[in-house]
Structure 1
Amino acid sequence: MMMQIGEKQAGNGSLVGKNQPPVGEKHQANDKPEANGKAEVSPKQEADGKGDTPRKSLNLYSWQEIQRHNQEADQWLVINRKVYDVTSWADRHPGGHRVLHHYAGEDATDVFRAMHLELDIARLYLKPLLIGELAPGEPSQERNKNAQLVEDFRELRRTLEAMNMFSASLGFFSLHLIQILILEVLAWLMLWHFGNGWPITICISFLLTISQAQSSFLQHDTGHLSIFKKSKWNHLMHRFVMCHLKGLSVKWWNHRHFQHHIKPNIYPKDPDIDVGPLFLVGDLQPLKYGKKKIKYIDYEKQHLYFYMGHCLGQQFLHPIFHRIWSFLRNLRNNIAHIFGQVLATCNVEQSFFNDWFTGHLNFQIEHHLFPTMPRHNYQKVAPLVRSLCAKHGLQYVNKPILKAFGDIVRSLKKSAALWMDAYYET
């Protein structure tokens, strides 16, 4: 699950707890904190990111220095201009060690805000990892990022928080769970009453397929959101949906899916688009497989066997809408978290059927920008996201559902052609 370590959260942004370690801690070789005698920052100041610690009490770093610490054995990252050494913490990170490694040497401010439901709790774990801050002359993000776009996005998030767009509706998700249970019970009642003739088998398979797809959406929600006021109930619901309705490991899903949301559509960091050896997608993966003469399966026909093999083999609907539509456009290998989702993602037009059929994941752009937002609010925030894109000249793609299905085939055919050219070239 996400970093839902505590159940209480102060409403005014203050940290929970009184005996936090000082901000200026150093780490010995044995990973035990060692006080360095430097000034401490109060919990309220640290929570707001506005501590009054004198600059001389912290080491100052340039981006050039920070970007050198991007190896598994040496991982630094930046959050709100503060520099953290997360090397020793990586293996204990609830979201998995790869999540931190994917942002080693980079600014992780926005993804940290996007992925943690209880920021005050998460900041407690950051404090002993603090080693310094960006030098005064350094920009807050890497120089290849659009600073104005970053600031506008953060303002948009603050606006949405003020609009209460990150609060889940218990009624919405309760009805969703009831729908799933009705489908499951109906399928087994049909089997018990009518037997296992092939027409009934087809009907039962269809009902269970829809149930599994809807379970995927609910499992996704319970993994990302605080649907229940007490997080322990959220954990229990996630385990029930994941383990009992789907038969999968919660830990496995957490570690893979959090990687997907911190680096969506960036190969090879996003495991959701690394679907080899069954399929090759985008521009980079087909060339990699082709040049290495890798042929696990006949990729030339992957657009034909996609619907049978991929859809039925991986819960039918969820991969189509949550994975395939995510990479319909050309994948970028190194783009900023904030607008990377817009460049490499498209939406499917809103309608009652499309919303139900895709579990509201037809709003892929909003879903990737705000992964902890309840999906029943995507439609409400979409106009604001569209306005932000228009302001900065970013294309906001919104497709009819049939065109999106067609683009899946065309995208797979294009990737197959790239693989063929690389594989058969002499």
Structure 2
Amino acid sequence: MAVTLPAPPVPTVPRREESVRGGSDFTPLARRVRASGLLERRPGYYARAIGLNVVATVAVWGAVAWAGDGWWTVLLGVPLAVIAVRTAFLGHDAGHRQIARTARGNRLLGLLLGNLLLGMGHGWWSDKHNRHHANPNHVGKDPDVGEGILAWTEEQAGRQRGVLRWVARHQARLFFPLLTLEGVNLKVGSLMFLRGRSRRDQVVEGGLLLAHAVGYLSLAFALLPVGQALALIALQHAVFGVHLGAVFAPNHKGMAMPEPGERWDHLRRQVLTSRNVRGGVVTDWAFGGLNYQIEHHLFPSVPRCNLRRVRPLVRAHCAEVGVPYAETGVVGSYRLALGHMREVGEPLR
């Protein structure tokens, strides 16, 4: 699909007077969004979303019990994964304090949705994701572009050795296959994070993660023979990882990456590093509202159901102050993200 506006080039380092002037560019936009009422929480929307999510989860497990012993039952791992991604979206929203009015209420929701229902640590995710929001696409500050299995810069790719160097060379074509392991990786990361936390966090978060593991495995192995239970678990985690990774991949990959020492104001730091994915109701549902990535980064506490209405305000303001606003279709977003990964690995081929 055609790109509405081209991805912006990496801006030059702003001069001091430009940074000071640019620092005020966000204020008029913030006033307009606040005056529109779109910052207000939507408790009714989230009550329905959480209720439907719980009902859907119970219904699919009920279908597993009803279908009984049979390899076709394993395919119910797919809707279980899709529903689990919806749970992850709700946990994400709680982490940004979009749902409840108090920090305590949002933390409680995050623990129940993340740790208990998903087996993914709310504390670990919040720490990692908040650092990403503070400095998106900034190597050394954003954990989402840190050193790992995949390389996000040519410098990172050049430092890879052994198998990881081969992976970096072919990472564009390996990206989606590797995502099948992301569901397990998220759970392992949640457990590793707890090692350095307080005793209270270890007891609360660790206890909920343990309750999830016991409940999930007991349910799977009580309803299905061992082989089918393992297959269902593997399928659910694989589809979950691909689905969740496919949602987050187009948002920043291939966008501007600030150089070390560069200091951008809030508006440019969030807009120039983010990309929206254009689409309708289906896209909004599949991406959990995160296809409005620019608006989400500028106003992370805005309820996801309001992001579509914030978009025209942000587009108009970016045009007014001369800040490029990147938006493309679903296919185009993956083409750009995978193209960036291919370019990073190119020098190794």
Pick from 333, 340, 348: which aligns with 1:404?
333
The answer to whether the Cα contact below 8 Å between 1:360 and 1:378 also exists between their aligned partners in 2 is yes
Counterpart residue number, 2:30: 157
Any idea what SS the aligned residue of 1:280 has?
Answer: coil
* Larger-gyration structure (1/2): 1
CA distance in 2, matches of 1:149, 1:289: 34
Q: How does 1:267-286 map to 2 (within 5 A)?
A: 267-274=139-146, 276-281=147-152, 283=153, 286=154
Bigger share in strand: 1
> Do structure 1's residue 322 and structure 2's residue 322 form an aligned pair?
no
Tell me the CA shift for residue 308 of structure 1. 2.3
CA deviation string 1:210-241 (max 9, x = no partner) = 11211121101111125223543322211101
- What's the counterpart of residue 306 of structure 2? 377
Mapped contact 2:97–2:103 kept (Cα < 8 A): no
Name the counterpart of 1:120.
none
Residue 225 (structure 1) aligns with: 97
Aligned counterparts of 1:397 and 1:335: Cα–Cα separation in 2: 20
Letter in 2 for 1:317: H
1:288 to 156, 161, 180: 156
Between 1:254-263 and 1:145-154, the stretch displaced more is 145-154
Q: 2:44 aligns with which of 171, 179, 188?
A: 171
What's 1:257 paired with? Answer: 129
Structure 1 residues 354 and 384: alpha-carbon distance in aligned structure 2, compared to 1, 3 A threshold: same
1:33 is matched with none
Measured after TM superposition, the shift of residue 346 of structure 1 is 0.8
Q: One-letter code of the match for 2:268?
A: F
CA distance in 2, matches of 1:407, 1:272: 17
| 1:142 Cα deviation from its structure 2 partner | 8.0
Compare the two structures and name the one with the higher helix fraction: 2
Distance 1:341 1:372 in 2: 14
Q: Could you say which residue in structure 1 is the equivalent of 2:73? A: 200
- Is 1:307 aligned to residue 176 of structure 2? yes
Following superposition, the deviation at residue 328 of structure 1 comes to 2.4
Q: Judging changes above 3 Å, is the alpha-carbon distance between structure 1 residues 196 and 268 closer, same or farther for their aligned structure 2 residues?
A: farther
Of 225, 238, 243, 2:110 maps to 238
Aligned residue in 2 for 1:146: 19
**Matched ranges for 1:79-158 at <5 A:** 143=16, 145-158=18-31
- Tell me the distance in 2 between the aligned counterparts of 1:323 and 1:149: 28
Q: Highest relative contact order (Cα 8 Å, sep 6+), 1 or 2?
A: 2
Distance 1:292 1:351 in 2: 40
Over 3 Å counting, the alpha-carbon distance change for 1:292 and 1:240 in structure 2 is closer
Q: 1:311 to 1:401 in 2, by over 3 A?
A: farther
User: Quick one: structure 1 residues 302 and 179, their matched pair in 2 at CA, closer, same or farther if it must change by over 3 Å?
Assistant: farther
Alignment partners' CA distance in 1, 2:72 and 2:174: 24
Which structure 1 segments of 5+ residues have no match?
1-140, 422-426
Give unpaired runs (5+ residues) of structure 2. 1-13, 184-240
Other structure's SS at 2:58 match: helix
Cα distance in 1 between the residues matched to 2:308 and 2:182:
30
User: Which amino acid counterpart does residue 299 of structure 1 have in structure 2?
Assistant: A
CA contact (8 A) 2:250 2:275 kept: no
For residues 293 and 231 of structure 1, what CA distance do their matches in structure 2 show? 43
Distance 2:126 2:15 in 1: 28
Q: CA 1:366 to 1:166, structure 2 compared with 1: closer, same or farther past 3 Å?
A: same
Q: How far is the alpha carbon of 1:379 from its aligned partner?
A: 1.2
Pairing 1:395–2:324 present: yes
Q: Secondary structure at the match of 1:298?
A: helix
Relative to the length of structure 1, the TM-score reads 0.60
AA in 2 matched with 1:273: V
Residues in 1 aligned to 2:339 and 2:98: alpha-carbon distance in whole angstroms:
38
- Contact conserved, 1:265 with 1:273, CA < 8 A, in 2? yes
- State, as a whole percentage, how many aligned pairs show the same letter: 25
RMSD, matched Cα: 2.3
Which residue in the other structure is 1:331 paired with? 257
- Matches of 1:145 and 1:190, distance apart in 2: 60
Residues 235 and 398 of structure 1: is their aligned pair in 2 closer, same or farther, counting only changes over 3 Å? same
Q: How far, CA to CA, are the matches of 2:58 and 2:178 in structure 1?
A: 26
Judge conservation of contact 2:25–2:321 (CA < 8 Å) in 1: no
User: In the TM superposition, what is the alpha-carbon distance from 1:413 to its structure 2 partner?
Assistant: 1.3
